[in-house]
Amino acid sequence: MVVLCDKDIKKLLQKGEIVIKEIIEEQIGSCSVDLRLGNTFRIFKHAEVTHVDPKEGIGEELMELVKKNNDEPFIIHPGEFVLGTTIEHVEIPRYLVARLDGRSSWGRLGIIIHSTAGSVQPGYAGQLTLEIANISKVPVKLWPGSRICQLTFEQLSSPCEVAYNEKKSKYMGQEGPQSSKIILD
């Protein structure tokens, strides 16, 4: 696979083959695109939950949606895990896969941006849910609008036969942070 450089990313954005809504030029790096943190978060109601059983699903009663003003931080405490979202809506063509990674500046504060979901499949369209954890010993303020993660794009050997949007897709078109839909597996 080949990683796309800035010139190729810009060309595909201009042609509308890669779509990243609400992007500004400064977000494009030499081989990646920075994405910004949205202002909505999902947190487990840990004081009220005895356990999570993936076979039972994650009902709304297990998680709380928290919305912050754009000038108001969300404070993530040590050991805490929350779901966040990107401001940007992305659309990936059937001949690319995108890789989501946290930015190094956040990693140096102990903030992990994804625990397992690092791939954005060909044909996906929607906002990206971020699996945010604080592994440091101190609370950290997460400011909406901050460049918190980045996407790199890799070209597939050929376009996929069945894209994400052409099969039973649990997270297609998501807006805001979405809880696990593992029960649909």
pTM: 0.90
**pLDDT (tens digit per residue) in 27-59:** 999 999 999 999 999 998 877 777 777 787 776
* Rounded Cα distance, 109 and 114, in Å: 15
Q: Per residue in 59-100, pLDDT tens?
A: 677 789 999 999 999 999 999 999 999 999 999 999 999 999
Range of the domain at 168: 2-177
Q: Domain count for the chain, please give it.
A: 1
17 is annotated as an active-site residue: no
Residue 185 domain flag? no
- Phi-psi sector, 182: left (phi>0), alpha (psi -120 to 50), beta: alpha
- Exactly one of 131, 161, 166, 175 is catalytic; name it: 131
Indicate the pairing of strand 81-91 with strand 19-20. Answer: antiparallel
Length, in residues, of the chain: 185
Which residues lie across from 155 on neighbouring strands?
A: 2, 96
Q: Is 184 among the domain residues?
A: no
Domain with residue 23: its CATH number is 2.70.40.10
Residue 88 half-sphere exposure, CB side, CA atoms within 13 Å?
21
CA separation, residue 160 to residues 94, 122, 134, 163, 165 (Å): 6, 7, 36, 6, 12
Distance CA 50, CA 62 (A): 10
Contact 130, 83 (CB under 8 A): yes
